[in-house]
């Protein structure tokens, strides 16, 4: 699709982030570490909604939501409250979800934020806290299974839902925005996005004159871009959506399919949850979190470009993932060569990992080893291209940089032997020496001769340096 | 056979007539020593008891055995009380007569052809009929005070937040409190002392200074300022009730209390606001009863929608269904502002009006019930007239203030209760005045 194919496209996102740094669920003391646990083992009276059990807010959930709100430049509410969203569904033990609401006296924990991306800024409508439902499991396919199994381990896990204004202008922008959000919540340390299902997005999209269509069930951020591309093409083909509906992203067939004609939000009979009094959040309390926020990606970007003097392009690639940026800064503590190291990480290493579908966190090269490779270049022991070759060989073969570097250096003619070899080459080519004194380009003949004699095992820049002293 | 066991057998025998209990406990000996050692107690069946069936008087929970004790039940056990069993009530506490129980009606020990009031009718009848020394009830719109009045005992609805609701099966959870019921004010005060304890499992529970209510029963009431709202003696008030209550108020005045008649205009909207809020909350609170995890299960269905529908259709009684449907309606799009929001506005106005009154007065006094206990079946087919009987009690629930009913006289051998309300966390005043009424009314409750 050409970029102007996205004229008139408006995309809004709803991103659910599980607060994975919390040890317990949102309203009870059950462990929130539910992944890989036997079904229905992390339950109590509260998260199974037994009669008479009451929810009590986990303070850590509130703290995490405030931090995320501040990081997305939101206004934190001083009088936020919880609402009930009523609907019958077997994954919800109470048949209502404790959530937040923006009407009827409801106030979400954070409102009116903005997030800058390199494809334009996106306004955050609100950030609301809510509980995750349980999980329905079918034997085989949803349509043929005779049983539905329910696992309530996930029921009551803390979520924040980040709701944007329809400011996103293209599927690529959506992906960029999601990466930014991901990087921010990871920097704050409240959501580990690598955990399966910890970050999920629903998208709503409309094109000029069309109705708003919501797409649910998008399992990864890569899929968001795909699903949006499909949906925009679909809407253009049918001359804009004629009905407001919710569609389901089928990531196997890569199409959106009708799920249901959209139920109005009002169908959920929202009302304030009497079990949870409004939260009185003082400005002082909010300030404590404001002071203790870690360096956020946009600030880090500025530091990388202004202080470390990286190009904006490289810096953006690095800050997009906290682990990558941290790794880069760690290499600098061993060898301060930002240009070389940032280039290797952003281009060579990330390119390799992407092609081979490997997570950066699984990178087998320690920051110290990469720094030592850069130091060999700084010390002129090897040149740039040799270093890059060693790096790529280490990535593909698994041999450590240390071993590869050692054998490369072992193979080189030692610096002590070089002057003798150069003297021999010069005495064999007296005319070339005279030429080089008059024409700076002619030095390359002599370098070439030295490389020929050493069968390419000499350090190119050292050879050049030594010959230059002979020219004076 | 120990004295308690033989007493227990007598109680079971008497229960055949009164039907105050749905389930009896196994009478396990309570070895804890405390303020309630040697006292027997009936617990309303909306309050969870670990290992002891808790039905809410509903077919839905006919076989539900909670795995945990309500906070108040743990407190009673720690204080040495002997739990005799679970008291009958209107299904899910929805009613004013205990006729809406899936386990049969409870009869008023004063007249077996009359209702004991409700919804905590089993609790009140157990105490009045000597089937227990004490009882716990729950009060969403008058459910402790109404049966206390009809059965001639003392019943107190505490300030919202004084007693933990953890383990109380919710009906209207912004309105209700668990409260004590007893033959006399002293025992009521004692039981309140035992159950008013901060509990961090209920986010609406308030951490206040503990008060020894029993030590304030004889405080001087002279110069205490008492307001008597005209609205509490409105149309539908039985003249016999009015006369008895006014006589008692006169006696308080002759004891030195300063009595003044007032108007609370907003009270006329309280019943409508109460029913909208209670039913709205109920429609959501009772959504969890789908028969999937516990409760009545009707068997295999073609899908979960049909399963939920079948379970709820078979499990809930008529009045519960009516309130769930009305509540669902009140919360629905297009009606929400007209009903729920408006009712909440009324609630704020009433709360403020009470606040203003308590700036000047220590207590508000009037009848608990506008009528004498009515006959079984008399109001069953007319839900509106049944709802009207809560007219004098619901405002305390809307405002979250404490309120007590104390027997103040008889008419046609049927008991009449006087109701006292006070400011938030001023239960002390209610019990103090209640105790004075016991001294001046000229009879004892046997």
CA dihedral B239, B242, B248, B252 (to 10 degrees): -140
pLDDT of residue A298 exceeding 90: no
Q: Which residues of B touch A (CB under 8 A)?
A: 47-48, 54, 56, 61, 64, 66-68, 70, 165-170, 173-174, 200-204, 280-281, 283-284, 287-290, 292-294, 304-305, 308, 328, 331-334, 336, 340-341
Across the range A410-429, mean pLDDT stands at 80
If one counts the domains in chain A, the total is: 3
- Residue B284 falls within a domain, yes or no? no
pLDDT at A262 over 60: no
Query: Distance, in angstroms, between B145 CA and closest chain A CA?
Result: 22
Strand order in the sheet with B414-421: B21-24, B82-87, B40-44, B134-139, B177-182, B154-157, B403-411, B414-421, B363-367, B225-229, B258-262
Please report residues of A whose CB lies closer than 8 A to that of B290: 88, 90, 95
Residue A3 binned pLDDT confidence (cut-offs 50, 70, 90): very low
If asked whether residues A134 and A272 sit together in one domain, one would say yes
Domain count, chain B: 1
Residues A359 and A427 placed together within one structural domain of the fold: no
pLDDT at position B383 over 90: no
User: B292 in a domain, yes or no?
Assistant: no
Is A314 in the same domain as A255?
A: no
If you search the block for the tokens 């003044």, which residue do you land on? B260
Taking an 8 Å cut-off on Cβ atoms, the answer to whether B287 and A86 are in contact is yes
User: Out of A13-22, A389-398, B284-293, which region has the weakest mean confidence (pLDDT)?
Assistant: A389-398
What's the pLDDT score for residue B425?
A: 98
A142 touches chain B (CB under 8 A): no
**For A309-319, how does the pLDDT look when each residue is reduced to its tens digit (9 = 90+)?**
999 999 988 98
Same domain assignment for residues A60 and A197: yes
Verify that A363 and A431 share a domain, yes or no.
no
**Nearest-CA distance from B73 to chain A in Å?**
12
Q: Same domain for A401 and A425?
A: no
Q: pTM of the predicted model, to two decimals?
A: 0.88
Reported ipTM: the value is: 0.94
- Tell me which chain A residue has its CA closest to the CA of residue B176: A274
Query: Shortest Cα distance from B304 to chain A (angstroms)?
Result: 7
- With residue B73 as reference, give the H or E element that holds it: helix B71-78
- List the domain range (segments joined by +) for residue A278: 3-289
- pLDDT(A152) > 90: yes
User: Which band of pLDDT confidence, cut at 50, 70 and 90, is reported for residue A282?
Assistant: very high
Say yes or no for a CB contact (<8 Å) between B167 and A266: no
The verdict on A220 and A337 lying in the same domain is no
Q: What is the mean pLDDT of residues B97-120?
A: 97
Residues 18-47 of A with CB under 8 A from B: 45
Q: In this structure, are A185 and A43 located in the same domain?
A: yes
A85 touches chain B (CB under 8 A): no
| Residues in chain A within 8 Å Cβ distance of B67 | 45, 50
* CATH at A458: 1.10.10.410
Look at residue B377 and tell me if it is in a domain.
Answer: yes
How confident is the model over B59-73, as a mean pLDDT? Answer: 97
Res A239: pLDDT: 60
Query: Could you tell me if residue B178 is inside a domain?
Result: yes
> Alpha-carbon distance B296 to B313, whole Å?
10
Mark which of A266, A289, A312 sits at the end of a domain: A289
Question: Which of B206 and A472 is assigned the larger pLDDT?
Answer: B206
Could you tell me if residue B271 is inside a domain?
no
Residue B357: give the domain boundaries: 3-265+351-440
pLDDT for B110 beyond 90 = yes
Domain boundary among A229, A255, A289: A289
List the CATH number of the domain containing B242.
3.90.1300.10
Note the pLDDT of residue B331.
Answer: 94
- A2 pLDDT band (50/70/90 cuts)? very low
Domain end point (choices A245, A266, A289): A289
In a shared domain, residues A271 and A309 = no
Question: A56 with A278: CB under 8 angstroms?
Answer: no
Reported as a single tens digit per residue, the pLDDT across A444-460 is 888 888 888 887 777 77
Phi, psi of A259 (to 5 degrees): -100, -55
Q: State yes or no: cis peptide before A434, omega within 30 of 0.
A: no
Q: Give the C-alpha separation, B52 to B294, whole Å.
A: 15
Q: Residue B39 and residue B1: Cα distance in Å, rounded?
A: 18
Q: Is residue B366 part of a domain?
A: yes
Same structural domain, A179 and A222: yes
pLDDT 10s digits, B290-323: 999 999 988 888 888 999 999 999 999 999 999 9
Catalogue the E-assigned strands of A158-298. 158-164, 199-206, 213-218, 245-250, 255-261, 271-272, 279-280
Chain A, chain B: beta-carbon pairs less than 8 Å apart: 101
Residues A322 and A384 in one domain: yes
Contacts of A48 (CB under 8 A, 6+ apart): A93, A152, A155, B293
The residue among B372, B371, B283, B375 whose CA lies nearest residue B330 is: B283
Residues of B in contact with A275 (CB under 8 A): 170, 173, 203-204
Residue B280 located in a structural domain: no
* Contact flag A96-B287 (C-beta cutoff 8 Å): yes
Specify whether A397 is located in the same domain as A429: no
Please tell me the distance from the alpha carbon of residue B169 to that of residue B167, in angstroms, as a whole number. 6
Average pLDDT over residues B343-358: 97
**Residue B312 to residues A269, B102, B122, B309, Cα–Cα distance (Å):** 19, 14, 25, 5
Are B166 and A264 an interchain contact pair (Cβ–Cβ within 8 Å)? no
Binary contact (A51, B288; C-beta < 8 A):
yes
């Amino acid at each position: 699709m050409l970029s102007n194919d996205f004229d008139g496209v408006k995309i809004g996102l709803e991103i659910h982030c599980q607060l994975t740094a919390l040890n317990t669920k949102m309203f009870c003391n059950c462990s929130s570490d539910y992944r890989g646990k036997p079904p229905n083992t992390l339950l109590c009276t509260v998260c199974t909604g037994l009669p008479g059990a009451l929810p009590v807010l986990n303070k850590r959930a509130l703290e995490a939501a405030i931090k995320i709100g501040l990081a997305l430049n939101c206004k934190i509410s001083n009088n936020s409250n919880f609402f009930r969203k009523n609907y019958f569904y077997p994954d919800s033990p109470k048949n209502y979800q404790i959530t937040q609401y923006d009407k009827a006296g409801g106030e979400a924990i954070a409102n009116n934020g903005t997030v800058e991306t390199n494809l334009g800024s996106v306004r955050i409508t609100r950030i609301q806290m809510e509980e995750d439902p349980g999980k329905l499991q079918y034997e085989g396919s949803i349509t043929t299974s005779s049983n539905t199994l329910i696992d309530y381990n996930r029921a009551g896990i803390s979520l924040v839902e980040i709701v944007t204004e329809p400011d996103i202008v293209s599927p690529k922008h959506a992906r960029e925005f999601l990466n930014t959000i991901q990087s921010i919540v990871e920097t704050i340390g409240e959501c580990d996005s690598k955990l399966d299902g910890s970050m999920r997005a629903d998208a709503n999209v409309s094109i000029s004159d069309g109705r708003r269509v919501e797409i649910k069930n998008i399992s990864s951020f890569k899929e968001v871009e795909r699903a949006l591309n499909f949906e925009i093409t679909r809407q253009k083909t049918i001359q804009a959506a004629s009905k407001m509906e919710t569609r389901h992203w089928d990531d196997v067939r890569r199409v959106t399919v009708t799920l249901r004609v959209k139920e109005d939000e009002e169908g959920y009979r929202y009302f304030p949850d009497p079990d949870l009094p409004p939260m009185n959040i003082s400005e002082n309390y909010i300030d404590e979190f404001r002071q203790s926020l870690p360096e956020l990606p946009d600030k880090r970007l500025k530091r990388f470009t202004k202080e470390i003097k990286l190009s904006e392009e490289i810096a953006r690639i690095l800050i997009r993932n906290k682990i990558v940026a941290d790794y880069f800064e760690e290499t600098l503590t061993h060898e301060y060569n930002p240009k070389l190291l940032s280039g290797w990480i952003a281009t060579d290493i990330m390119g390799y990992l992407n092609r081979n579908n490997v997570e950066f966190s699984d990178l087998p090269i320690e920051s110290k080893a990469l720094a030592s490779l850069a130091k060999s270049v700084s010390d002129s022991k090897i040149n740039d291209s040799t270093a890059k070759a060693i790096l790529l060989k280490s990535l593909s073969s698994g041999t450590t940089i240390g071993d590869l570097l050692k054998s490369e250096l072992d193979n080189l003619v030692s610096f002590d032997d070089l002057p003798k070899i150069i003297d021999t080459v010069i005495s064999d080519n007296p005319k070339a020496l005279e030429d080089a004194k008059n024409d700076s380009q002619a030095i390359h003949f002599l370098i070439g001769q030295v490389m020929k004699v050493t069968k390419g095992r000499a350090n190119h820049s050292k050879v050049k340096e030594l010959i230059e002293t002979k020219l004076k | 056979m120990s004295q308690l066991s033989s007493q227990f057998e007598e109680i079971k025998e008497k229960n055949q007539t009164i039907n105050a209990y749905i389930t009896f406990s196994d009478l396990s000996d309570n070895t804890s020593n405390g303020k309630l050692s040697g006292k027997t107690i009936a617990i309303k069946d909306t309050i969870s008891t670990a290992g002891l069936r808790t039905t809410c008087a509903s077919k839905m929970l006919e076989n539900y055995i909670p795995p945990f004790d309500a906070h108040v039940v743990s407190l009673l056990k720690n204080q040495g009380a002997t739990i005799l069993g679970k008291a009958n009530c209107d299904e899910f506490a929805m009613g004013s007569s205990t006729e809406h129980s899936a386990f049969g009606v409870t009869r008023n020990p004063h007249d077996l052809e009359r209702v004991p009031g409700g919804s905590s009718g089993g609790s009140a009848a157990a105490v009045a009929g000597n089937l227990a020394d004490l009882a716990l009830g729950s009060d969403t719109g008058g459910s402790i005070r109404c049966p206390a009045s009809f059965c001639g005992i003392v019943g107190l609805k505490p300030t919202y937040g004084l007693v933990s609701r953890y383990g109380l099966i919710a009906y209207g959870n912004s309105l209700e409190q668990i409260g004590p019921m007893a033959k006399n004010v002293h025992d009521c005060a004692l039981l309140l002392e035992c159950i008013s304890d901060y509990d961090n499992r209920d986010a609406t529970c308030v951490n206040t200074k503990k008060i020894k209510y029993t030590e304030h029963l004889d405080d001087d009431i002279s110069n205490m300022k008492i307001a008597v709202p005209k609205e509490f003696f409105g149309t539908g008030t039985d003249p016999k009730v009015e006369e008895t209550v006014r006589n008692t108020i006169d006696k308080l005045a002759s004891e030195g209390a300063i009595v003044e008649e007032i108007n609370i205009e907003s009270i006329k909207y309280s019943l409508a606001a109460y029913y909208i809020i209670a039913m709205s909350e109920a429609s959501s609170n009772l959504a969890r009863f789908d028969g999937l995890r516990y409760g009545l299960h009707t068997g295999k269905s073609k899908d979960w929608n049909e399963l939920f529908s079948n379970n709820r259709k078979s499990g809930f009684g008529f009045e519960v269904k009516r309130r769930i449907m009305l509540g669902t309606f009140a919360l629905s799009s297009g009606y929400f502002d007209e009903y729920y929001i408006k009712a909440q506005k009324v609630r704020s106005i009433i709360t403020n009006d009470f606040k203003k009154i308590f700036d000047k007065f220590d207590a508000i006094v009037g009848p608990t019930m506008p009528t004498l206990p009515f006959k079984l079946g008399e109001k069953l087919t007319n839900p509106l007239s049944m709802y009207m009987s809560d007219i004098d009690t619901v405002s305390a629930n809307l405002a979250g203030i404490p309120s007590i009913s104390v027997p103040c006289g008889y008419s046609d051998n049927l008991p009449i209760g006087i109701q006292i309300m006070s400011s938030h966390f001023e239960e002390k005043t209610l019990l103090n005045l209640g105790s004075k009424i016991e001294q001046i009314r000229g009879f004892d409750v046997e």
